[in-house]
Structure 1
Amino acid sequence: MRDYGYLVDFKAHSALCLEALQGGLILDTDLKPIAESPNGYGLHLVTNQVVSTIGTKIQFLSSEIVQDAAQLATNLSRPMTDIKYAAGIALAVAEAGLLHDSALAPIMERGSDCGFELLSATEEALDALWPAAQRESRNVKDGEVYTDTPFETHLHGTNFYLSAYERNCFYLEWPAITQENLEVHIFLCKTLDAMSNYLVPFHTPASAYGFGGQYSYGPSELYEALGDQVVELNQDEITEMLLATEDISELGMLGMALEESGEDEGEIAQQIAGLLWEIVDIEKNYSFRLAYGENTSDQSRKVEMSELQAQLRDVIAKGTPHSGLCEALSDAMDACIARADSHRTVSEMISSASEESADEGAGYEESPNRFFDCIWVIADGRHDLIVQDALEAFNADLEEVSEVAAKLPLDSGELVSQITIPVIERTNQCLALLRRIQLCLEAEKNA
């Protein structure tokens, strides 16, 4: 009572506890503290229990206390957005035909406090050009389909960014390399090459980890030294040849790196042989491309693509098991042929806008293609060793890049029309065609 006596109102608290007992909020057994501490402390304890019990029976609904609470919360969470900046971005996108009066009028009715809504509408209009389904990666393991979304977009400053957080890999169930399938195999390789040139610059097996590939430094050096000797050998025969090499360091940077790892010489030879056999396989079977060089042009390649298109249509007309795949390849070739007359690479388009863009993002200028380097086509299960080696080189290459993104300008309606919209549309078209090719190959395998 010395500590809590001042808190006890014997008359009022007793009445409260009696009402609670009669009303069923507490039981007779809950009055036990009063018997144990008749000096008033027991009444204090019972009163606290009654108050706590009453508290559990009371619920305050914010929607009834504050009218339009949800809308109020939304308004309070809206970031402050400069109306001049937002209006400039929205105007550029509207001039390019992506935002219409029907969408802008309700927003403008808010007056000067509509900056956030203008930016949101602008971002939604640009996002609509690249549906979420075409940003996903897809992989099949043991019959289970796994998806992830490595590609996203965001608006920052006067630019719209296509961002990559990891690779988007298309694992293709490539047709078995037999004489019967050779024609379709070549069609597939050349179509992928055409798409990577005339749509967006994604990686094929040859460009990513084949001989001279962007991420095959060590294996390419090895192939350059020994390619002629091993081109007709199998992996075991290559291993035997390597074991006969007196100094493994003579095999270039790859041999020296493996030697320094302290592994058994036989294991080193097997690893190198595996990489060498796979790069030979890529060079021999996965490097069919369109013609390039000093005497070729977009027009000469257009002729070549048209000839391939005619051959694809012949296969489709015959109704072979590969007809579905050939239809997808034919549509992809159509898209490439349509761009040949006025071809500009995505890299050229993005670079041409970098000087005019007001928002300079660190790291983006030095390579506009960094985002597209994250799109890989892989012959599933065919080149596991060299793919892993290339992945390590890829990760090392990008580890100091703050964000892997393609920066597209929103400074004016002209830039949006000539660069931003075409790049997004080409990206969406290319990824959609790659997914269709992937699904056609899976269907053939499971037929």
Structure 2
Amino acid sequence: MGYVDEVLDLVSKRDASQPEFIQAVTEVLNSLRPVVEKNEELYRKNAILERITEPDRQIMFRVPWVDDNGQVQVNRGFRVQFNNAIGPYKGGLRLHPSVNLGIIKFLGFEQIFKNSLTTLPIGGGKGGSDFNPKGKSDREIMAFCQSFMTELAKYIGADIDVPAGDIGTGAREIGFMFGQYKRIKNLYEGVLTGKGLTYGGSLARTQATGYGLLYLTEELIKCHSDNIAGKTVAVSGSGNVAIYAIEKAQQLGAKVVTCSDSTGWIYDESGIDVELLKEVKEVKRARLTEYAAAKPSAQYFEKKNGEHGVWQYKVDVALPCATQNELDLEDAKALVANGVKYVCEGANMPTTIDATEYFQANGVCFVGGKAANAGGVATSALEMSQNSERLSWTFEEVDSKLKKIMVGIYHNIDEAAKEYGMEGNYVAGANIAGFKKVVEAMLAQGVC
């Protein structure tokens, strides 16, 4: 049994109750086989794969808070600090009922490679809670966030671990958490990113993941002697990533015809109205039924099991921007049958492994989230730089740096794939490019 298979077997047995984490590790290690085989003796002697698949620490804690009826509620909080070989731990805080240790570990593991690809000095981590912010009052959100940060504050800091937002954690939640950190620590430092502009946040951070996804997608298409202008695009999700992916795609001349939320999806043949979508989802925090009611050309479909949702339409580009494993093999077959040419992930691991393989086998240019959605964490790192310098850059400055990073990521993963005889396999290219930088740092720092 080779080294990769030994470690995959170890992880599968040790973490059998964490399917998402096993899925992420399997996808990464399988694509790293050429690199590992070339350096097997060195990597095995230094237990590189065992060390990179085991977090530095896994923190789990109780989060008690009081709701508006005076009832004490209890949630579970997590922070997984995975690898800090190239910089402080960096990764978002997800607030969603589905959150458990396995979800946070898979996200933290992916974050190691994603952060490495940005070329910025940030390591991999992730955190969150099974708290559901939907339907909660601002006072309840504040009560939860303050309790959550009271415990989390023991483990983070500007040069230790810098969390950010993720699903369920927006500017409101970050603000409440920052206020509590400052109160407890008596420190005003860049310990969180995604902050409001009045207290250390960065311009373009809100748009960063969606915009970055399109900058990479545009470069991918351009390097295949094609043009994004005039393309028809399917987007899933209607949160922060999806909204700004739609906005940037349409600024670049594409037409986006879909978006979705947890209850259903919109098909709008005339193109999604971004300003209306922002009003419904960001201002009113309402369902997409309100979008359909306000726009005659839009059709709303309620989500049902077994349906392809946003993936059933004839499009050139697909951008999954909602959540993990939302695009399965049957969805991939539907997209290929309808002529999709490019698929780039805006969410974390939204495509199942068999769907990814089907895209690759059928000539679709597929870029995984570690590369394609790195714009958010890249801009978070730029926010850290601004905080350290006590400066605030213009939107144009940040956006220009973001575009340069995302174009650089595409060429980096393209070259890594070619170097190991896998031209066009951008999943392997991303894993290889991210892995090599982290491993070089790990070897240089000894056993730690």
TM-score, scaled relative to structure 1 = 0.24
TM-score, scaled relative to structure 2 = 0.24
Q: Which has the larger radius of gyration?
A: 1
| Greater helix proportion | 1
Greater relative contact order (Cα < 8 A, sep 6+): 1
| Greater strand proportion | 2
